């Protein structure tokens, strides 16, 4: 079998732990089970990458706010934010595994996720 390696597919997942990363790509979509809109960021460095979804919901807004704050783009009430402005921004993330139950089945899924967003510029000053 021959496998074609497309652009961006030549890196492994980032290992668990803290990483300085750049947001290199943004995708948009809706969740498979409830139709909730989301955007997904590809966090990347020389070691690898992780993709994290951010859901546009009441429960998801604090997480989105922490992401934007970490890249020095704090959100303001009533403003409209453009997720594409996240591209090229650097920040610290913590990568970890999370296991959850798949709705309407008895199966579980484990995935890598990015949490603990922190400003790269503030960390450089410490």
Query: How do residues 13-25 score in pLDDT, each as one tens digit?
Result: 999 999 999 999 9
pLDDT-wise least confident of 15-19, 55-59, 106-110, 112-116: 106-110
Asked if the model's pLDDT at residue 112 lies above 70, the reply is: yes
Average pLDDT, the chain: 91
CA dist list (Å): 34 to 80, 86, 91, 104? 23, 26, 30, 12
Q: What mean pLDDT is predicted for residues 7-36?
A: 91
CB distance 42 to 25 below 8 Å: yes
Burial (0-12, 13-18, 19+ Cβ within 10 Å), 21? buried
Fold of 17-73+83-124: OB fold (Dihydrolipoamide Acetyltransferase, E2P) (2.40.50)
């Amino acid at each position: 079998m021959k496998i074609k390696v497309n652009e961006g597919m030549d890196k492994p997942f980032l290992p668990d732990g803290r990483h300085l990363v750049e947001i290199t790509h943004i995708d948009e979509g809706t969740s498979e089970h409830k139709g909730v809109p989301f955007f997904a960021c590809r966090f990347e460095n020389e070691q690898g990458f992780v993709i994290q979804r951010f859901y546009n919901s009441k429960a998801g807004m604090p997480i989105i706010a922490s992401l934007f704050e970490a890249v020095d783009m704090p959100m303001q009430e009533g403003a409209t934010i453009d997720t594409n402005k996240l591209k090229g921004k650097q920040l610290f993330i913590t990568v970890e595994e999370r296991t959850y139950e798949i709705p309407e089945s008895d199966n579980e899924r484990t995935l890598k996720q990015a949490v603990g967003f922190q400003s790269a510029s503030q960390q450089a000053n410490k």
